[in-house]
Structure 1
Amino acid sequence: MTQQSSAQRSMLAHRISYFLKLSGPSYVVDTACSSSLYAIENAYRAIRIGEIDAAIVGGANLCLHPSVTLQFARLGSECLYYKKSKDARRIYAQVLHAKTNCDGYKPQGITFPSGAAQVALLNEFYEECDVDRYSLSYVEAHGTGTLVGDPEEGNAIDATLTKKRKTPLLIGSIKSNIGHSEPASGICAITKCIIAMESGFLPPNDHFNTPRKEIKRAP
């Protein structure tokens, strides 16, 4: 293996497949902090259409210089193993559906989240998977703690998941516990939810005392 190929990010998945003697699709997904969730959706769809029998989805983040951002100056990595439930030796959780979208051009810039796109995605998701959105007991949010992102996400959740609820909808984010692991954050969030289902305990949002005034509150 050449020095160039060993340094290329596109080769990382192939090197792992080679080492584990795996066959089938093998590629790197990079969509910033949604990377691992995009990878999960790809694995879900590939299993559903019969392209593969199982998939290893991993998320990793390595920041080698703190000037990029102090919050990302830690290594975070995690893997999940997906396969059809009929073939699984043990099942910790079941993926009922997976869906992604892109909010496209926004006058505020590429880093500004689109609340309208999030509302559209959530509406389409629950229409397709035929799950009662008002029966949810908990939502694991992206929740980066930013002045711009949290109101867009919080208001989108409120607009799509709370209108007909009779009880409060619990919302949390693992980023308050371990920080923002960027491309690995989606897998970390799923792991948190699986542990919560196993233990019956949801970790509290550390250092959270008062909701942002920009986020709509229940009357």
Structure 2
Amino acid sequence: MLRQVKEQVYDLVSTSKSKGSLLVRDIAEDVDPSTIEIVIGVGIRQKLALNGLVGWSRMHLLNEVLNRDLLGNAEAMETVSTQVLQNHLMGGTNAPIYYYLENAGRLDAHGNLHNEDSLHERVKQRAKTSYEALTSVDLISKKNRLLAEGCDSFSVLALVEDPHLTLSILPAISPQKIDLEELRQFLLDHVETDAQGKPTTVWAKAVCLYDVLRHGPGRLDKA
């Protein structure tokens, strides 16, 4: 019986979608336990779903910025902002933050942090330094910087160059030459992971740059 409860709660947290109607009743002695469906109230269901976010990996954070499944769920965004982001910001690890902070109502109109309440110090620090770090071209060769600077637009460069190279030199492309929706789709189409299924540094950094250009201090629009 407990195993069935565990399985149904796991399914509930994983899908966040109800599959049946609500019914409250006692369980008769002659009822087969395998036929019982465990139903949880809406408030508890939402709490379980939010708790499920706390265990998110960095790949979850990166994918959500591109897929935007949580968009409109301010409570979920707040949970990620206060309980998840700091777990993936050790050292120079590339993890997106502005999408979550903006949709939790913590950024001003220019993408700068204005509400630091309950945020971890790592999140506050990253919010102040990400733009400069992500737009730095110091590690890009002169040849590739010239390639990026000479392209007519990101979309043109993406058509003629290798996807990995395109992502690698993204910081050197003028933001005014980048259509953010095209970049988002490109990142979805060219996900890069290592043998363990973890995001590559190049792809993760590119997603973070998209994040800062769309939601953070470098925002190009408010779409």
TM-score by length of 1: 0.25
TM-score by length of 2: 0.25
Report which of the two has the higher share of helix: 2
Structure with bigger gyration radius: 2
